[in-house]
Amino acid sequence: MATQLSDAELITSLQARVKELETENAKLLSQLADCRSHEMEKKVYVPDERGGKSKKGNRKSEEKIEKMPGYNTRFMSHHSRRYVALKVMYFGKRFYGFASEAQMEPTVESELFKAFEKTRLLVGNKKESQYSRCGRTDKGVSSVGQVIALFLRSNLKISETNNGNSGVVLDEQHGEIDYVRVLNRVLPNDIRIMGWCPAPVDFHARFSCLSREYKYFFWKENLNIQAMESAGNKLVGEHDFRNFCKMDAANVHNYRRRIKLFEISPTDVRYNDNQLWVIKIRGSAFLWHQVRCMVVVLFMVGKGLESPNVIDMLLDTARILRKPQYTMASEVPLVLQSCEFDNIKFMCSSEAGEALHVHLVNECQIYQLQAAIFHEALLNCVPLSNGVANASKLAAFSRIQEESFPCPSYVTTN
């Protein structure tokens, strides 16, 4: 009689199988890309009846190639390619999430592939590039440590790259394309490549990730930080988090996830008498909207609307039969901080690093100037009497609290 595998063993087995199939798929895609490129060359250089080369035929073929995704030049087949991992930063305010499958524009992913094609780094199309991403952040969410992986054009000789094989033997600082510098020159101001690293062809940005770390920024106001910290520590460990996520029954059947770290600490940013704090959460993987759901429950604890024990209640899926109705925390303060991998060390040339530093400093100064203008407007508001001002402030604060920290409707059983 066959032994039934546990959920953890089944997941491990499936992930191993996925890596095997990805490796085989990479080899086949590499062969397919070479075949297509050689076929295109033959169509471009078609001899005419006099034994010469038909200029008209060449021109039409070139136009056809230019319209094909990824084929920006007829000489692409002469370039070797290598599998690389890229560390990506983006400010998510104007994007409809990271992934481009939602058919909403702009997305971070669509902007990245525009840059790949504009710089002629993409050989073949997106599918042939064996593209993978670590996290699929939602609309408005930012990142300073997102990781993607794909095949890109390389200056190294074919025999010296991982073009269908694993292993790279050359010093990366001699002769290779400066991917960070080249891409950052054409990317929009709110997206930047932070570093790159050669990767084996069986690397997968999602399934090879050991852990992901998120940060959530918030103003302290009157929140009880000690109560929030007590509640947050209850999230650490392996639990069923179905009451802390947006249910995706069609694609997710196992809601157990492991939280490795929870921290809450002040930053050095203040505005008037208010201080900016940050929640740091690290886990092996996260469910859809899990971080934002956990954070809003912590806010309810901080406001005194719930006790820290509410975390125990929500983690007890036998007691809470279905997810309570509550609004998630805002997406704007959420940042994908980092993604951890084995043997992936990102690098950046000194020239690219200096340009990146100058750009980020400039962006910070721009936002500080905008903040100064809003502060100036605040100082120039029409003065109100103390009684009216206090009443207006109290009403506005109460409305914000009701919108941000709604009381959940818990469904419990005896």
Strand partners, 239: 257
C-beta separation of 331 from 96 below 8 A: no
| Beta partners for residue 88, in sequence order | 146, 193
Residue 329 lies in a domain: yes
Distance in Å from the first CA to the final CA of the chain: 39
Q: Which two tokens stand for residue 115?
A: 């840059």
Rounded CA gap, 165 and 122, in Å? 18
Question: Domain range holding 306?
Answer: 211-340
Distances (CA, A) of 145 to 127, 169, 194, 280, 326: 23, 27, 8, 14, 29
Number of Cα atoms under 13 Å in the Cβ half of residue 92: 25
Per-residue DSSP letter, 408: P
The catalytic residues are 138
- Residue 316 within any structural domain of the chain: yes
pLDDT per residue as tens digits for the range 124-133: 888 889 999 9
Structure tokens at 352: 């690219």
Calculate helix-pair angle for 290-302, 225-233, nearest 10 degrees.
Answer: 140
Record the tokens describing residue 261, joined without a space. 């770290």
Residue spans of the chain under pLDDT 70: 1-5, 8, 22-23, 25-79, 102, 158-174, 249-250, 385-414
**Complete DSSP assignment for 42-100:** HHHS-B-TTSSB-HHHHHHHHHHHHHSTT---TTGGGSEEEEEEEEEEE-GGGSS-S-S
What pLDDT does residue 5 have? Answer: 67
SS3 370: helix
Task: Fill in the amino acid letter for 398.
Answer: S
Rounded Cα distance, 1 and 224, in Å:
56
Per-residue pLDDT at 413: 35
CA–CA–CA angle 113, 119, 123 (5° rounding): 65
- Residue 103 contacts residue 93 (beta carbons within 8 Å): no
Q: Does residue 55 come out as left (phi exceeding 0), alpha (psi in the -120 to 50 range) or beta?
A: alpha
Can you point out the beta strands (E) in 99-178? 132-133, 142-154
The reply to whether 179 falls in a domain is no
Contact (Cβ atoms closer than 8 angstroms) between residue 189 and residue 56 = no
| Domain assignment present for 353 | no
pLDDT in tens, 94-121: 999 999 876 788 999 999 999 999 999 9
Q: How far is CA 358 from CA 173, 213, 353, 394, in A?
A: 22, 26, 9, 42
Q: How is residue 239 written in tokens?
A: 């639990």
Query: Which pLDDT score is estimated for 185?
Result: 96
Please list the residues that pair with 270 across neighbouring strands: 275
In a domain, 282, yes or no: yes
Query: DSSP label at 158?
Result: G
Report the CATH number at residue 330: 3.30.70.660
Sign of CA dihedral 291, 292, 295, 301: negative
Give the HSE-up count for residue 147: Cα atoms under 13 Å, Cβ half-sphere: 26
**In this predicted model, what pLDDT tens digit does every residue of 264-310 receive, in sequence order?**
999 999 998 899 999 999 999 999 999 999 999 999 999 999 999 99
CA pair distance 21, 18, nearest whole angstrom: 5
Q: Which residues pair with 213 in a beta bridge?
A: 282, 338
Specify if 162 maps to a domain: no
Secondary structure (3-state) at 162: coil
Would 13 be classed as within a structural domain?
A: no
Residue 279 to residue 403: CA distance in whole angstroms = 20
Contacts of 372 (CB under 8 A, 6+ apart): none
In a domain, 273, yes or no: yes
On the CB side of 351, how many CA atoms lie within 13 Å of its CA? Answer: 9
Task: Give the Å distances, CA to CA, from 13 to 19, 132, 254.
Answer: 10, 20, 15
Structural domain total, the chain: 1
Residue type, 396: A
